[in-house]
Chain A
Amino acid sequence: MEGASYQRFPKVKIRELKDDYAKFELRDTVTSMANALGRVMIAEVPTIAIDLVEIEINSSVLNDEFIAHHLGLIPLTSDRAMGMPFSLDCDACDGDGQCEYCSVEFHLRAKCIIDQTLDVTSKDLYSSDHTVVPVDFSDSSGSEIHINEDLMQTLTLEEKRSWVESSPTRVFDIDPNTKQVVVVDPEAYTYDDEVIKKAESMGKPGLVDIYAKEDSFIFTVESTGAIKASQLVLNAIEVFKQKLDAVRLSEDTVEADEQFDELGAHMRGG
């Protein structure tokens, strides 16, 4: 295989990491990669959820389908999900969806024998697999800003103050010691152009230059708790690799191409 590898080497820096929340920076890669990763995290990382509800008795005020719908919304701890086949793909039960390899069974039994309303929550769900249980509900890329210092010096302190204040979010401030305009929080900038318009109205166009960095992204991942946020990102990368593998060209198309190549060459008189 000739040709150099056109691979990129992305960098990651984690800003915050909790069980259900991760915020990290992804640098030195393209928008497409960040986008694809986000899409995979949202739509293609497998999780486990209640899909079929068989109701024996329901004499509550909520009707059957209401209860079934809401049971389906309960997030279940899905660490097993990556290793489980989809019911459609399961060989053991032939797509039936009821075997131990591709499914988990839950039981819910509640009877109200007191005079008041009985609260039935996900804590009353009993699982056949202790690693798949309802989530325990008891217990968060930058921009670059350049200030034209020469032009900034021509402003009086009053003018600087009014310019800094024209920004709706606190991006700039005046340093109390040097009385200079400094960038305080570049990420607070919302690309509203207010400061640019203010500079122009003051007769000082080009006072500041602001552009977005095209190769760094800030990811915020919030999970339902079904999978830890950090594990979610790793699963997403795994699923992404599996998708790429599925899309590789198989051997027989390569052979067919070579045969076509020879035929083509022959027909062209080669």
Chain B
Amino acid sequence: MNAPDRYERFVVPEGTKKVSYERDTKIINAASFTIEREDHTIGNIVRIQLHRDENVLFAGYKLPHPLQYKIIVRIHTTSQSSPLQAYNQAINDLDKELDHLKNVFEAEVAKHARE
């Protein structure tokens, strides 16, 4: 009766932004990104990628509630970078890694087909 509809997991309602960003008022170079209609699939991999950045002092994500389909990613960086930069960099690197994975996999499939 109270269960949310299945499509709520991925349909962003009108007027809500997919990604929003809130700087921390008290700590410099710290921000929280709220990503609507996403879950651990994105959260965990982005967080791990952020850890690889040496300018990132803190990176974590959480699901405020399992029935509210959004994640909050919190990033603190050194003054050499900014949370925004770190976030974009992480996503770009993941994108490149996936491109590489796709090429490697396609090559393997072709190679396998030939044998």
Chain A contacts to B: CB under 8 angstroms? 1, 3, 5-14, 17, 24, 29-30, 32-33, 35-36, 39-40, 43-44, 88, 230, 233-234, 237-238, 240-241, 243-250, 253-254, 256-257, 260
| B48 and A10 contacting across the interface, CB-CB below 8 Å | no
| B112 and A14 contacting across the interface, CB-CB below 8 Å | yes
Q: Contacts A17-B109, A233-B105, A257-B84 known; A6 to B7 CB distance under 8 Å?
A: no
Q: Can you give 15 contacting A-B residue pairs, CB < 8 Å?
A: A3-B81, A5-B89, A6-B93, A9-B100, A33-B45, A36-B41, A88-B11, A238-B102, A240-B98, A241-B95, A243-B38, A244-B95, A244-B98, A247-B19, A257-B23
Q: How far is the CA of A246 from the CA of B33 in the complex (A)?
A: 14
Chain B contacts to A: CB under 8 angstroms? 7, 11, 17-21, 23, 33, 35, 38, 40-42, 44-49, 52-53, 55, 81, 84-85, 87-102, 104-106, 108-109, 111-113
Q: How far is the CA of A36 from the CA of B19 in the complex (A)?
A: 20
Q: How far is the CA of A3 from the CA of B97 in the complex (A)?
A: 17
CB closest residue in chain B, given A16: B112
| A13 and B108 contacting across the interface, CB-CB below 8 Å | yes
| A253 and B21 contacting across the interface, CB-CB below 8 Å | yes
Q: How far is the CA of A43 from the CA of B37 in the complex (A)?
A: 14
| A244 and B94 contacting across the interface, CB-CB below 8 Å | yes
CB closest residue in chain B, given A89: B11
